[in-house]
Chain A
Amino acid sequence: MTMTANFVSSQFLTNSMILPITQAQSTLTTAMTEESTGQYADLGLQLGDQSGYELSLKEQVSLIQTLTSGNSLVSTNLATAQNALSAIGASAQTAMSALTVWTPSANSGATLQTTGQSALQALIASTNATSGDEYVFGGINSAVAPVTDYYSTPTSAAKTAVDQAFQTAFGVLPSDLAAASISASAMQSFLAGPFAALFSGAAWTSDWSSASSTNTSAEIAPGQTVASSTNANEPVFQDLAQAYTMLSEFGGSQLSGAAQQAVASAASSLITQGQDSLTNVQAALGATQSAVTDANNSMSSQSTILQKQIDALDNIDPNATAAQINSLTNQIQMAYELTARLQQMNLAQYLPVP
């Protein structure tokens, strides 16, 4: 008996097909899973130390999705604020038109009073506009209505303050007959002085506004935070409230025609001033709106690119996998065939039975 390189043990010959068959079968199972899901069967094993990179790509996509859905809320809030500002602008325009044609000789003071009162009520309603359950002009203090109703019962703090200021300045109330003796110049200096002081600073925040001067901010794109609202402490609200209140309080009073004229002209100059600041506020919010749109657009294209990168890591080549499945199936069939033939290749089969 010789041992040469050609020597093959029968055990090896019998078993030689088992390992290739089991290997091919397990590869086939994996390939079929991959073909049906389109992804590698075991991503962690496939990616190894690239797993963290893949996760960070997915995190970015996830962050973009979160920000985009948050942005739709920001956009809704901004649109609500813009609508309210437009309404404020429209009522300011109406009041302005009424004032332009008003003269003390042709019209009564009651016209002034009606104009002022309806404009002030509209202003208060618009300033207390809500989006969801948030007051859009509340600043960060969005859970509380920014301005209180001036005409409420019991008498609002704002009205009490106005009455007190008038009483302090002239010793009478506007409804008192004695008020008729107040001169136009005295009225002018009252309006510019003690009365104007009620609509700014601490008096405004204590009597009129509950809003916070800090605007809400929102992250609209990764690392990009913008002020996402304006608040009722802006000059536009103070100027308009001041103009409407003087019309409402002093228009229908016992004031002389000259004093009423002084009230009307002070009011119209305040409304003009208010309209200017209104435009500024609208422009600022408009800029934020377009920043949100831009952010959404750029995040959308960014998301597409990121998703492509993720797919490149996760996804198999379906054509290659289909070809692999085909060749594995062939290999297994071939191995079965060979196993059967090897069983026949045995000297005992060919020896004559003695």
Chain B
Amino acid sequence: MSLSAAFNIISSSFAANSAQTAVVSNNIANVNTPGYSRQIANLVTNSFGGADVVSVTREANAALADQVSTSTAQAAAQQAIADGLATLAQTVSDSSSASTTSGADQNGASPSAMLTNLQSALTTHETSPSSSSAADAAVTAAQNLASSLNRGSAAVANVREQADQNMASSVATINSLLSQFTAANNAVVTGLQAGTSVASAEDQRDSIVTQLSHEIGVSTVTAGNGSMSIYTDSGVTLFQDTARAVSFTPTPTLVDGQSGSPVTVDGVPITGPNSPMPLQSGALAGYAALRDSLAPQYQAQLDQIAGGLINAFAESDQSTPPTLPPLPGLFTTPGATSLPSTAATTGLGAAIEVNPNADPSQGGDATLLRDGGISNPGNPAYTYNSTGAASYTSRLQQLVGAIGATQSFDPSAGLGSSASLTDYTNASVSWLQAENQQASNASSYQSALATQATSALSNATGVNLDAEMTNMLNLENSYASSAKLLTTVNSMFSALLNAA
């Protein structure tokens, strides 16, 4: 071996050393970058016997990365549902501190508490049938109940509209992430073809997938040329060589019974009842579940309660034999001329009101509650108290009884087909709080899983500062040795030249 060959080896050692130092510096610089995978310089002996850095690879763990994106998507879906349900639960969460109240009145504003207050007010009115203040109090309690159902319905509409807006912004985020992904994926594919380092492009690609999984549940497949394809968790292609168009038309106002439009990928719906492959996870799936099934189901229950109230307080023809049909009494909807059937209650929760004929503030007469004839004060056929007796209580007793009497409900609202109004209203609260509890628990659980998976991934592919420092010390030593070697070879050359 000639001395000049030794020079070549030393020079390749310097080159390899600086390449490795660059990798270590890069690792240290990114010690706190989330999603950064530590890089490794791969050394190979070259033709002179020296060392060359042939490639820089990244420490990757596809299994853990998948777990991170799956649990992130699940956590996001449950979080979206939990947030929406918590908003709805606020309209019924009046239980706190209610037991510390001294009076008979329930705190809060839930339909359940308002129904109890109405029942109390009617019972009090029954004890003092001639008292106009007791009659007014009962009408006020009825108004509170009606507005509590109105408020609940408004909250449902609000939650659905919010979910619709969130779906729109989620879809915008997905499309923007997919176009970023296109660029990063192209960089990986061309980099691999050219043989340059693709580590940072791969990092970027993985980070986009994680961000994407927050919005929509995805799974990924990497092809032989390094190109990654993205599918939704239900199997619809989102990216394969090119990004697919994700589209959504927002519906700004969603009234009871109106359904929002689905999210489509290449024209295939991925949310809603008509989707062949419905999305399972990600915030988008959570918003869709909230908008299309959970909130409408609660609305259906509110509508059933409203319909049940109108029927329970209906007035019938008191003539013998009765010839006229029963009409809405204390509770009605604007312009109603007949009683609603249990199967057609859509929109009642938002529309229910106290009949103006019984409302003193609208020129009505609250004593009609005792006497009957709220439905049509001009028609004596609907008057129960035909003698006008001041202590007539039969009608009030009927009304109190009607609140506790079993009546039929539409089973499609999910609370059975037969119950008393009180029980049905309570069951609706139970249903909502149970869904709320379940979503909240699932959200905490999935968040914990996501955190764990992220930690595991960080431990598997992240940077340890101490390890990098140790590498750096190694590199320092090898640099010092190479320098020493260079000086030695140089002095050998000098000795040789001087001898000549």
Which residues of A pack against B, CB within 8 Å? 1, 3, 7-12, 14, 16, 19, 37, 39-40, 42-56, 58-59, 61-63, 65-67, 69-70, 73-74, 133-134, 138-144, 212, 214, 216-219, 225, 307, 310-311, 314, 346-348, 351
CB atoms of B463 and A49 under 8 A apart: no
B460 within 8 A of A: yes
Cβ proximity bits B428-458 to A, threshold 8 Å, 1 near / 0 not: 1111111011101000000000010001001
CB atoms of B391 and A139 under 8 A apart: yes
CB atoms of B459 and A12 under 8 A apart: yes
B99 touches which of A44, A58, A214 (Cβ 8 Å): A58
Kindly specify which of B87-95, B195-203, B238-246 makes contact with the partner chain: B87-95
B126 within 8 A of A: yes
Kindly specify which of B117-125, B160-168, B209-217, B274-282 makes contact with the partner chain: B117-125
Knowing A10-B463, A11-B32, A65-B104, the reply to whether A59 touches B458 (Cβ < 8 A) is: no
User: Closest chain B residue to A214 by CB distance?
Assistant: B389
CB atoms of A69 and B104 under 8 A apart: yes
B405 within 8 A of A: no
Cβ proximity bits B109-121 to A, threshold 8 Å, 1 near / 0 not: 0101100110110
Q: Decide if the interface of chain A is mainly helix, strand, loop or mixed.
A: helix
B430 touches which of A50, A62, A65, A134 (Cβ 8 Å): A50
User: Closest chain A residue to B115 by CB distance?
Assistant: A59
CB atoms of B104 and A62 under 8 A apart: yes
9 residue pairs bridging A and B, Cβ less than 8 Å apart: A42-B96, A52-B428, A66-B123, A66-B124, A133-B130, A140-B391, A143-B130, A212-B389, A314-B96
Knowing A1-B471, A53-B430, the reply to whether A219 touches B400 (Cβ < 8 A) is: yes
- Provide the residues of chain B in CB contact with A219, threshold 8 Å: 123, 126-127, 397, 400
A141 touches which of B112, B387, B458, B469 (Cβ 8 Å): B387
Give the distance in Å from the alpha carbon of A218 to the alpha carbon of B389 in the complex. Answer: 15
B422 within 8 A of A: yes
Cβ proximity bits B34-48 to A, threshold 8 Å, 1 near / 0 not: 100010100000000
B485 within 8 A of A: no
- Provide the residues of chain A in CB contact with B434, threshold 8 Å: 48-49, 51
Give the distance in Å from the alpha carbon of A293 to the alpha carbon of B455 in the complex. Answer: 68
**In the complex, which residues 456-500 of chain B have their Cβ closer than 8 Å to any Cβ of chain A?**
458-467, 469-471, 473
Knowing A7-B459, A44-B436, A59-B422, the reply to whether A52 touches B389 (Cβ < 8 A) is: no
User: Closest chain A residue to B110 by CB distance?
Assistant: A55
- Provide the residues of chain A in CB contact with B97, threshold 8 Å: 37, 39
Give the distance in Å from the alpha carbon of A66 to the alpha carbon of B122 in the complex. Answer: 10
Give the distance in Å from the alpha carbon of A220 to the alpha carbon of B141 in the complex. Answer: 21
Number of residue pairs A-B, CB distance < 8 angstroms: 209
B317 within 8 A of A: no
- Provide the residues of chain A in CB contact with B470, threshold 8 Å: 347
Q: How far is the CB of B79 from chain A (nearest CB, A)?
A: 15
Knowing A139-B391, A141-B389, A217-B393, the reply to whether A62 touches B106 (Cβ < 8 A) is: yes
CB atoms of B93 and A42 under 8 A apart: yes
* Most chain A Cβ neighbours within 10 Å, of B106, B128, B459: B459
Q: How far is the CB of A42 from chain B (nearest CB, A)?
A: 7
Q: How far is the CB of B124 from chain A (nearest CB, A)?
A: 6
With an 8 Å Cβ cutoff, the count of chain B residues facing the other chain is 72
CB atoms of A62 and B120 under 8 A apart: yes
B59 within 8 A of A: yes
- Provide the residues of chain B in CB contact with A73, threshold 8 Å: 127-128
Q: How far is the CB of B450 from chain A (nearest CB, A)?
A: 11
Give the distance in Å from the alpha carbon of A86 to the alpha carbon of B226 in the complex. Answer: 106
CB atoms of B438 and A48 under 8 A apart: yes
- Provide the residues of chain A in CB contact with B461, threshold 8 Å: 9
Give the distance in Å from the alpha carbon of A40 to the alpha carbon of B97 in the complex. Answer: 10
CB atoms of B130 and A142 under 8 A apart: yes
CB atoms of B389 and A55 under 8 A apart: no
Give the distance in Å from the alpha carbon of A346 to the alpha carbon of B14 in the complex. Answer: 28
Contacts A49-B433, A59-B422, A66-B123 supplied; 17 other A-B pairs, CB < 8 Å: A1-B467, A7-B459, A8-B464, A10-B462, A11-B463, A12-B458, A54-B95, A59-B426, A62-B105, A63-B104, A73-B127, A140-B392, A143-B389, A216-B129, A307-B99, A346-B466, A347-B469
CB atoms of B430 and A49 under 8 A apart: yes
Give the distance in Å from the alpha carbon of A322 to the alpha carbon of B110 in the complex. Answer: 32
CB atoms of A140 and B389 under 8 A apart: yes
